[in-house]
Amino acid sequence: MNVWLYVIGFIASCALSVILTPIVKKFAFWVGAVAVPNHRSVHSKIMPQLGGLAIFFAFIGAYFIIAPLTASFNLKVALALLIGGAIIVLVGALDDRFVLSPKIKLLGQFAAAGVVVYFGLAVDFVHLPFGGPIDVNQWIGIPVTILWIVGVTNAVNLIDGLDGLSAGVSGIATATIMVLSIIMGNYGVALICAVLLGSIVGFLFFNFHPAKIFMGDTGALFLGFALATLSILGYKQATIVSLIVPILILGVPLSDTFIAILRRKINNKPIFAADKGHLHHCLMGLGYSTRKTVLIIYGVSTLFGLCAVLLSQATQWWTLVIVAVMFLIMVICAEAIGIISKNRKPVISFIQRVFFGGIALFRATK
């Protein structure tokens, strides 16, 4: 492992992203790809979109210069990210400019996922906390791969609601995958992560609050696609990783999406209906500023990442303990801030009944 190649890859992509973002900003205004404030917006002025173009071209430019110099370069992986990423970026850019229908966007996401499968990057075995890896045939592995990529792509897109939120959370997830890849000796994936992380950090100079440009669907869809693909690469090559680790790495976007679906079901609303009940909306509703809300979610994402790293090294029993504690904390926090429902809080109510019941029983026995 040549550490300097990873450092150079990170710096090169970061520098490219810093150079390209102002150019993309002018281009977005020129073609009319702008976000106009509405009733769901947090921003109050017209903002340029298409920032994802800077992330994509910085990543691709730096990676295809650095990666061929390494022994771990995999042409199939590179082409899957290039071609699949280009499809996703094109769909996102068209949506940022013309607002595509959900069906067309979904079709593009399936096409990009199909490219990944075509180059042989589908899941071929599943790791369970007990019993080790289980071989999966192509009739199961391919659909699971496609659904995973489409699901993660949309999950990252859904949390793109505040300055720097989606980019920062994606950067933390990318860093987590990079650390796990290095631990497992998967240096090819680690290099991809280093370059992708650099392009994200470079863009964040312009996207963190107060943002000068939005990544738009161009960036959110690409980052979701890239993270889903990278998690599959690490997941299918590492026999020590349990089934839950890739989910923990992407814990914030996936949990926010799951809770959004649950919330809409409880409130009898369509699953794809937009609302202001996401995690960042709820935190801002509690009085936190945009910057503090984003930093809180960064902290939660980092916690998920640390748990993923710990989980990859844990014994089977510790795996169950970590997962159970994380799930309980997530449910309690979700109910506390009202992200699921403002009135229904069954878990907190149950804990309160047990706690006060225990106190009453203790007093009665004295």
Q: Which amino acids are annotated as binding site, given as ranges?
A: 157, 217
Identify whether 210 is preceded by a cis peptide bond (ω within 30 of 0): yes
Q: Rounded CA gap, 334 and 362, in Å?
A: 30
Q: Which residues are annotated as a binding site for Mg(2+)?
A: 157, 217
DSSP state of 208: S
Q: Let me know: does 199 contact 14? Beta carbons within 8 Å.
A: yes
Alpha carbon dihedral 237, 239, 242, 244, in 10-degree steps, equals 0
- Give backbone dihedrals phi and psi of 133, rounded to 5 degrees, phi first: -75, 145
Q: Let me know: does 206 contact 48? Beta carbons within 8 Å.
A: no
Return all residues near 333 (Cβ < 8 A) that are at least 6 apart.
Answer: none
Tally the residues of the chain. 366
Cα angle 158, 16, 68 (rounded to 5 degrees) comes to 100
Q: Is 324 exposed, middle or buried (0-12, 13-18, 19+ CB in 10 A)?
A: exposed
Structure tokens at 28: 């977005």
Identify the CA nearest to 158 among candidates 251, 274, 5: 274
Alpha helices in the chain (DSSP H): 3-31, 52-66, 75-98, 102-118, 138-158, 165-184, 187-207, 216-237, 245-249, 251-266, 279-285, 290-313, 316-337, 346-365
Return all residues near 327 (Cβ < 8 A) that are at least 6 apart.
Answer: none
